[in-house]
Chain A
Amino acid sequence: MSSNGIMDKVAVIGMGCTKFGEHWDKSVDDLLVDAAYQAFDDAGIEPTDIDAAWLGTMVSGYAGITLSGPLKTKYIPVTRVENMCATGSEAFRNACYAVASGAYDIVLAIGVEKLKDSGFSGLNSPKPPSDGTTPNISAPASFAFLAPAYFNKYGLSSDQGREVLSKIAWKNHYNGSLNSKAQYRSEVSMERITNSPMVASPLGIMDCSGVADGAAAAIIVRTEDAHKYRKDPMYVKALSIAAGPGDGILLQDFDFTSIKETVMASKEAYRQAGIKDPRKEISMAEVHDCFTPTELVIYEDLGFSKRGEGWKDVLEGTFELKGELPINPDGGLKSFGHPIGASGLRMLYEMYLQFQNKAGDRQIKNPKLGLTHNLGGTPMQCVSFVAIVGKELS
């Protein structure tokens, strides 16, 4: 059993990202065209330069024709991928490997989701026929399980726990207020977060990421070709995704204070990129803050915080924009909402902007290495993705 990383073998030479939010006046096709052409323009290439494409979408279309139709690509391969909420990252990962293999020279990875057209609250996905006995609990409820378990294990009172969760939401909204592409662009007070209407106890509505439409795209080439297109490409250091066997829902060992898939995916990514001390070596991260306790647990699962001490780091401001290790500098899922197929690529888009010193008021000083983390499923069983990207070749 081995996995061979592709450190520094491929690079991103162009990216695009639509504004995320309620696009009542735009279709899936419109969002795909907007994100793809932003990426083409940014890379300085023609749409016909693309050799192959990977489209990530969970519920907004089937097959490669969802992309080839609106873009009018000329019979090139287009692969539609789906890996739940990690769909966008999965499109990127597969596109990178295709380029690294030498099969293609220049490819497009694009993700899209149009959630607001369903009219339903929260996220809903088509389910295969089943015996119907699995409890029909909402996504926030699945992740809410983390909160009481974490508070109980580490001795936080419900008020202390509440403050920690609110602080995470507050930080992400603050960052999002500085981002013109975010769905929500206002700062939100701690008080408003703390007192927001209950969705799945102890999570209020302000602990949850929003429901949004959006698309994001990346153009990927081999590293040796990157400088033909731009002087400041983003290099791919590591890509990993861990699919869980279901330990969390089958075994009592799993105690809801950690998501094992994230631990395994990050270990593998650190191995590929040669990272020993992630808290020191990583300059910034975009993580899957679908709900506030998810982000809390991620700090520890990624090795940014010691076990049981993520909450202290939150209170100390470690992960704020001006803190030691800024997390979700673009505002995260919390400010962007979570158009499933697009989110993973949106995270990479922020890394790309930061490396190119284009993040405006959110700019982090001279970031070298960035991490993106994307999670699909529930804490009990999920796919967890980690990418490490860099400004420079190692």
Chain B
Amino acid sequence: MKGIISYGAYIPYYRLQRKKIGEFLGSSVLGGEKAVAGYDEDSVSMGIEAARDCLKGIETDDLDAIFFATTSSPYKEKASAPIIGTALALKENIKSLEVSSSIRSGTSSIMLANPDEKTLIISSDCRTGGTGGQNEQVFGDGAACLLIGSGKNVIASIVEQTSFQKDVLTQWRGSDEDVTQNWEERLGQTVFQKQIEDDVIPFIKQHDIDVSALKKVIISGPGARTHSLCAKALSLEKQQIQDPLIDQVGAAGSAHASMMLISALQDAKPGDRIMVISFAEGLDLILFEVTEAIENLPERKGIRDHLNNKSNDISYSDYLKWRNLLKTEPARRPEKDRPSAPAVYRGHSQNIGLIGSKCRECGTPQFPKQRICVRCQAKDQMDDYRFVNQPAKITTYTLDYLSASPASPVLAAIIDFEGGGRILSEVTDCDPAKVEIGMEVEMTFRRLYTASGISNYFWKARPKWKKEVL
């Protein structure tokens, strides 16, 4: 039976305390915090990190397809799947689909994945609300990844699924606009409530679903009152309603429903039934039943660990700068040139896959790829060598106040990999006060910069994820 084989999530490290927005605006704001993608992150980089969490311990050679669902694609025209595939070391002979515009695209992708294939569904969003508006407070950034397929490894099988298309202008972002706009919230709530009555309740009755026996109901929809209205309409108990993560993350667009689902799966036991209702210009409904296989799922970060691994040390002005919403004085340094497309093409597997070379003669790993071995001078005796998951540590470092960056000063370090090889890298998501020689780091996929509309991706180091400090 088709279902979820594995899951993974990503929540960016920085959390903006909403009260800081209020202090700036001088007005009352929502409580809690929102997850804010770093200046070096976007929907692609976050999606890749969620997929890395999902694919832990998974053999990837038999994956058939990648779906990438987002409303904040780095490009209106140009695929991201080849970047995602190379970063995850997937084979090149794989199908892909990039789904955009609809907030429901994450859940729709789950329904549309071929039951006879293994499909990696990445949903990721980094949406911008207008400065000073409600969306700015409510929106948060994050990514979810689900591996969908069939067989004995399915941890949550799909029992029922359905979808309804019903147009309504509750929330939209025009193709030449940067920020999302809304109609007054009452409209969305009313329409959503009506759809519960017209579509959801008849479906539940028709398929004999015992709502009171549902462990969790995931409701992803517009507005703060959606949950209570839906819960009331379905006669749900409070503990059945999955936490919408608004206080800790915010509404993460096309990733939101899947992130809530992953959160529910992290607490689920075999036999639990979980229903997802994802509302946006219609709705998607999926009913899952958790299987025994969930007991064997290896440990991962998921939503729970990501919620705890964070820094609140970000100001509202940092957020505005990172999203290009604050005009600041340019550094007295030259403008960044766009990367050379032929050089990017030649360096694709090396840079996106963090693949260097290892000398067959003397065994020395080196990055970037070399033809002549730096140690033994053997010519063209190199095998590809992937550094991504190698343990690594900082050999020396500096805080660079001079180079131009949206997050100055830049923490730059020499990173040495266990087994050999080193790179000069920026260390991201790190408190400079805690850096020292010998500090353990791991590699994370990031967007280095954009120039001429081109997003240039590479890897950076970040402090090694330590479970014990959480």
Contact = CB atoms under 8 A, between A and B. Distances in A.
Given A124-B333, A200-B401, A201-B399, A131 B422 contact: no
A141 B396 contact: no
B293 interface: no
Interface of B: 331-334, 336-340, 343-344, 346-347, 351, 364, 366-367, 370, 374-375, 395-404, 409-410, 412, 414, 416, 420-426, 432, 437, 448-449, 451, 456, 458
Contacts of B336: 132, 136
A243 interface: no
Given A152-B437, A247-B374, A133 B351 contact: yes
A141 B374 contact: no
A249 B426 CA distance: 14
A121 B401 CA distance: 11
Interface in A112-169: 119-122, 124, 127, 129-138, 140-141, 144-149, 152
B340 A129 contact: yes
A252 B437 contact: no
Nearest to B426: A135
Contacts of B333: 120-122, 124
Given A133-B456, A250-B366, A200 B420 contact: no
A130 B343 contact: yes
**Top 3 closest pairs, chain A to chain B, by CB:** A132-B339, A129-B340, A144-B398
A254 to B, nearest CB: 8
Contacts of A251: 364, 366, 374-375, 422
A121 B332 contact: yes
Contacts of B421: 250, 252
A210 to B, nearest CB: 14
Nearest to A119: B332
Interface string A246-284: 110111100110000000000000000000000000000
A155 to B, nearest CB: 12
A70 interface: no
Contacts of B398: 137, 141, 144-145, 147-148, 200-203
Given A145-B397, A145-B398, A200-B402, A250 B334 contact: no
Contacts of B375: 251
Contacts of B410: 135, 137, 141
Nearest to A138: B402
Given A152-B437, A255-B395, A245 B400 contact: no
A199 B374 contact: no
Contacts of A130: 339-340, 343
Interface in A188-222: 198-203
Nearest to A380: B424
Contact of A140 (B337, B374, B402, B451): B402
Interface in A333-367: none
A140 B395 contact: no
A308 B397 CA distance: 20
A130 B458 CA distance: 13
Contacts of A380: 414, 424
Contact of B420 (A134, A246, A252): A252
B399 A148 contact: no
22 contacts: A124-B333, A130-B343, A131-B344, A131-B347, A132-B343, A132-B344, A133-B448, A133-B458, A134-B424, A135-B412, A137-B398, A137-B410, A145-B397, A149-B437, A200-B401, A201-B399, A201-B409, A203-B398, A250-B370, A251-B374, A252-B420, A256-B395
Nearest to A121: B332
Interface residues of A, number: 41
Interface in A89-132: 119-122, 124, 127, 129-132
Contact of B337 (A127, A149, A201, A256): A127
A380 B396 CA distance: 12
Nearest to B352: A133
Contacts of B366: 250-251
A147 B414 CA distance: 13
A145 to B, nearest CB: 4
Given A131-B351, A246-B374, 4 more contacts: A135-B410, A198-B409, A200-B398, A201-B432
A138 B425 CA distance: 13
Contacts of B340: 129-132
Contacts of B395: 149, 252, 255-256
For B346, B410, B449, the residue with the greatest tally of chain A CB atoms inside 10 Å of its CB is B410
A202 B409 CA distance: 12
Contacts of A132: 336-340, 343-344, 448-449, 451, 456
Contacts of A122: 333, 402
B456 A141 contact: no
B403 A149 contact: no
B374 A245 contact: yes
A371 B346 CA distance: 44
Contacts of B425: 135
Contacts of A127: 337
Q: Which of A124, A133, A137 has the most CB of B within 10 A?
A: A133
A255 B396 CA distance: 9
B403 A137 contact: yes
Contact of B402 (A119, A121, A145, A148): A121
Contacts of B412: 135, 137, 141, 145
B437 A199 contact: no
A141 to B, nearest CB: 4
A138 B334 CA distance: 12
Q: Which of B396, B416, B424 has the most CB of A within 10 A?
A: B396
Contacts of B414: 145, 256, 380
A380 B451 CA distance: 27
A367 B242 CA distance: 83
A310 B437 CA distance: 21
Contacts of B396: 145-146, 148-149, 152, 256
Contacts of A137: 398, 400, 403, 410, 412, 424
A144 B402 CA distance: 12
Contacts of A202: 398
B331 A121 contact: yes
Nearest to B419: A252
A133 B397 contact: no
Given A129-B340, A148-B437, A252-B420, A198 B399 contact: yes
B337 A200 contact: no
Contacts of B404: 136
A141 B427 CA distance: 14
Contacts of B374: 245-247, 250-251
Most chain A CB atoms below 10 A, which of B375, B403, B437, B458: B403
Contacts of A203: 398
A152 B252 CA distance: 44
Contacts of A198: 399, 401, 409
